[in-house]
Amino acid sequence: MTTTLRLRPPRHRVERRAIALWTLHALAVAVPAIAAPVVTALLWADFAAWLWLASAVIAAPAAAVTLAMPQWRYRVHRWEATDDAVYTASGWLWQEWRVAPMSRIQTVDTERGPLQRLLGLASVTVTTASAAGPLSIDGLDHARATELARHLTETTQATPGDAT
Distance CA 73, CA 71 (A): 6
Asked whether residue 104 falls in the same domain as residue 65, the answer is no
Dist. CA 26–CA 88, nearest whole Å: 22
69 and 81 belong to one structural domain: no
Q: Could you tell me if 121 and 84 lie in one domain?
A: yes
Residue 102's domain comprises 77-158
My answer on whether 54 and 86 are in the same domain is: no
In a shared domain, residues 154 and 87? yes
Task: Specify whether 48 is located in the same domain as 101.
Answer: no
67 and 85 assigned to the same domain: no
Residues 39, 49: Cα–Cα separation, whole Å: 13
Q: Report how many domains make up the chain.
A: 2
Pair 85, 150 in one domain = yes
pLDDT at 2: 54
CA angle 133, 23, 63 (to 5 degrees): 115
What is d(CA 58, CA 49) in angstroms, rounded to the nearest whole number? Answer: 14
Decide if 88 is inside a domain: yes
- Kindly state whether residues 67 and 92 are assigned to the same domain: no
Residue 129 is predicted with a pLDDT of: 84
pLDDT at residue number 4: 66
Kindly state whether residue 8 falls inside one of the protein's structural domains. Answer: no
pLDDT at 49: 87
pLDDT attached to residue 1: 47
- Is there a single domain that holds both residue 65 and residue 40? yes
- Order of strands, sheet of 78-81, starting from the edge strand that comes earlier in the sequence: 12-13, 78-81, 85-91, 95-101
Residue 130 lies in a domain: yes
Question: How much is the pLDDT for 164?
Answer: 56
Low-confidence ranges of the chain (pLDDT < 70): 1-7, 160-164
5-to-65, 79, 95, 120 alpha-carbon distances in Å? 35, 15, 20, 32
User: Is there a single domain that holds both residue 146 and residue 107?
Assistant: yes
- Whether 7 is covered by a domain: the verdict is no
Q: Are residues 58 and 116 in the same domain?
A: no
φ, ψ dihedrals at 120, nearest 5°:
70, 30
In-domain check, residue 10: no
Give per-residue burial for 58-75: e unless 16+ CB within 10 Å, then b: beeebeeebeebbebbbe
CATH number at residue 128: 2.30.29.210
Report the distance separating Cα 162 and Cα 20, nearest Å: 39
